[in-house]
Amino acid sequence: MNDFTSPVYFKLLATLKEAGYQLMPLIDLAENNFPRAVALRHDVDRFPRRAVRMAEKELCQSITSTYFFRRKHILHHPDLIAYIASMGHEIGYHYENLAHCRGNADRAFHEFTDTLRALRKITFACGISMHGSPFSRHNNHHLWRRYSYTKLH
């Protein structure tokens, strides 16, 4: 599939529903044993206002999903994130701190925890998802070689 437009996305969701699949955010899938389920997630890389429109369209069809936001959106668009959360969608952190901090793991972890704390002031943070940084030689996932995300509170 190479057409990622909104009409095609909603046609896909309608087809999945017709085939008997339940559509849900990530936590619902992880916490329940549904025989036919699809978890819906969106990585908001560039345009948070488009994410708002998508979330509104999903809400109109009684669909909830998970939206992962990057640091810049958490810091500069908390109102948009809060609005999406108020519709019942899950919110997570789409992190890229090791690349942003040019491989400095200590600084990256400090930035990571600060950003996660900022997100938690906006809404419940359901999880984290690594953002790929193809122009960086630093793999953001390698932050967890030094630190443990399982101990985050």
Beta bridge partners of 125: 91
Q: Name the strand (E) or helix (H) holding 44.
A: strand 41-44
pLDDT in tens, 17-64: 999 999 999 999 889 888 999 999 999 999 999 999 999 999 999 999
The pLDDT of residue 12: 95
Domain boundaries, the chain: 6-151
Task: Supply the DSSP symbol for 139.
Answer: -
Indicate the average pLDDT of the chain.
Answer: 94
- pTM for the model stands at 0.93
Rounded CA-CA distance 13/40 in Å is 10
Rounded CA-CA distance 82/134 in Å is 29
pLDDT in tens, 91-102: 999 999 999 999
Q: Using 50, 70 and 90 to split pLDDT, how confident is the model at 1?
A: low
